[in-house]
Amino acid sequence: MRALGACVLLAFTLLFAVIACQPLSPRQPVLFYAWGGNPAVNDYLRWAADELYQQDIELRHVKVADIADVVKQLTKGQSNADLIWINGENFQALKAAGKLHQISGDISQLANVNDKLNWQTDFGEAVEGLEVPWGLAQFHLLSCSQCLQGNSVSAVQLLAYAAEHPGKISYPKPPEFHGTTFLKALLLSLSDTPELFHQPVSASAEQLTAPLWHYLELLHPHLWQQGTNFPGSAAEQLNWFANGVLDIAVSFNPNEAATLVKQGRIPAGTARLTLGAAAITNHHYLAIPTSAANKQAALRVIEFMLSEKAQRRKAQLDGWGDPPVITIPDANAPSLLPVADEFDASWQPYLEHAWSERFQ
């Protein structure tokens, strides 16, 4: 019993120590809620926190397993987030709920953002200054050195490969966003009128997507576990790919083949290729919720994240390898993949719903 008593006493002492120490920090804390699943991103944010510390800002990376948790809190409850990393449907939900600050006017570095990038719409939703681009995503496949060849593979070629190598192909289960994007890429490859997908879903949607469903009926019997199960996430698929269970993985980071080989996460010789002629391209953003307690400090963090120093570091292949969104002079920046524009946002729920109706 005495040991137990000592434990409790120790615990309370620690508690008071922790509470007492907190107000001593003179720096402005910025609570940055961001996905914490990628060690390379986490390392990058540790570096950024060290840099910002010298500017009297304490950047705290609050690692979440899914940023949707926080979006849910912001729209329906409360959150203490000062800064969040979002895009797509999470952005839409926050925009619709009016939970984001208008910040584009306050960020001087925005002038340096590469104007060739189509970042003003986020999955078809107008950004309207509510978020600021941080990096760039391009959907593509990773393939082992002896598997798929070339710079791109069409939907038809993929089907032929799957038929020859049963059980070696799969894709993350929609509505996981890599999975849904996989469907979009197939649609672009199969469709005669790809430009129609930049418009909202209309009455012709069923007719437009018919080739995709027919194609999947043919493809699924050749998939891993005959399409009765799917990887739950791109990360899971990546692990199976690394161990030779599958011949392809999916990725949104155009430099990921290089960075992951450097990390020893996937075998050397892994190649990247687009599904269809080009890579569906979108952006990921930083935004400040209206409920943020430290808006000014959060703005300074964004300013730093868009600086040349930070963007250059972010692009390094021995780190995160995320392409810069600003124009960096003399950069030997790794090449981007051919760009295909993102679908209108209304296609996202339509495809997810139609897919689960048919294959769930």
Please identify, using beta-carbon distances, which residue of 77 and 105 lies nearer to another protein: 77
Query: Rule CB under 8 A: which of 138-177 touch another protein?
Result: 167, 173, 175
Rounded to the nearest whole angstrom, what is the least distance from the CB of residue 17 to another protein in the complex? 9
User: How far is residue 248's CA from residue 141's CA, in Å, rounded to a whole number?
Assistant: 6
User: How far is residue 263's CA from residue 123's CA, in Å, rounded to a whole number?
Assistant: 31
Provide φ and ψ at 165, rounded to 5°.
-125, 75
Provide φ and ψ at 33, rounded to 5°.
-85, 120
255: Cα within 13 Å, side-chain hemisphere: 20
Rounded to the nearest whole angstrom, what is the least distance from the CB of residue 38 to another protein in the complex? 5
Provide φ and ψ at 348, rounded to 5°.
-55, -60
Please identify, using beta-carbon distances, which residue of 200 and 349 lies nearer to another protein: 349
Query: Rule CB under 8 A: which of 183-242 touch another protein?
Result: 225, 228-230, 232-233, 235-236, 238-240, 242
The two most distant CA atoms of the chain are separated, in Å, by: 78
C-alpha to C-alpha distances, 74 to 17, 90, 97, 290, 301, nearest whole angstrom: 31, 11, 9, 9, 20
Q: How far is CA 9 from the centre of its chain?
A: 45
Beta strands in the chain (DSSP E): 28-35, 57-64, 83-86, 121-122, 125-126, 132-138, 140-143, 152-153, 248-251, 271-275, 279-287, 339-341
Please identify, using beta-carbon distances, which residue of 26 and 105 lies nearer to another protein: 26
Q: Which of 189, 348, 124 is nearest to 356 (CA)?
A: 348
Please identify, using beta-carbon distances, which residue of 66 and 217 lies nearer to another protein: 66
Number of residues that bind another protein (CB under 8 A): 65
Among 198, 309, 353, 358, binds another protein (CB under 8 A): 353
Rounded to the nearest whole angstrom, what is the least distance from the CB of residue 240 to another protein in the complex? 7
User: How far is residue 249's CA from residue 170's CA, in Å, rounded to a whole number?
Assistant: 8
Instruction: Decide: is 97 part of the binding site for another protein (CB under 8 A).
Output: no
Instruction: Decide: is 21 part of the binding site for another protein (CB under 8 A).
Output: no
Site string for another protein, 35-74 (x = CB under 8 A): xxxxx--x---x-------------x-xxxxx-xx--xx-
Provide φ and ψ at 343, rounded to 5°.
-70, 160
Q: Are 101 and 292 in contact (CB under 8 A)?
A: yes
Please identify, using beta-carbon distances, which residue of 10 and 331 lies nearer to another protein: 10
Please identify, using beta-carbon distances, which residue of 64 and 205 lies nearer to another protein: 64
Instruction: Decide: is 265 part of the binding site for another protein (CB under 8 A).
Output: yes
Please identify, using beta-carbon distances, which residue of 152 and 270 lies nearer to another protein: 270
Strand partners, 125: 122
User: How far is residue 44's CA from residue 348's CA, in Å, rounded to a whole number?
Assistant: 30
Q: Are 346 and 134 in contact (CB under 8 A)?
A: no
Please identify, using beta-carbon distances, which residue of 214 and 353 lies nearer to another protein: 353
Rounded to the nearest whole angstrom, what is the least distance from the CB of residue 306 to another protein in the complex? 23
Rounded to the nearest whole angstrom, what is the least distance from the CB of residue 200 to another protein in the complex? 15
Which region among 75-83, 131-139, 199-207, 313-321 touches another protein (by CB under 8 A)?
Answer: 75-83
Q: Using CB under 8 A as the criterion, which residues of the chain lie in contact with another protein when the complex forms?
A: 1, 3-4, 7-8, 10-12, 14-15, 18-19, 31, 33, 35-39, 42, 46, 60, 62-66, 68-69, 72-73, 76-81, 89, 92-93, 167, 173, 175, 225, 228-230, 232-233, 235-236, 238-240, 242-245, 264-265, 267, 349, 353, 359-360
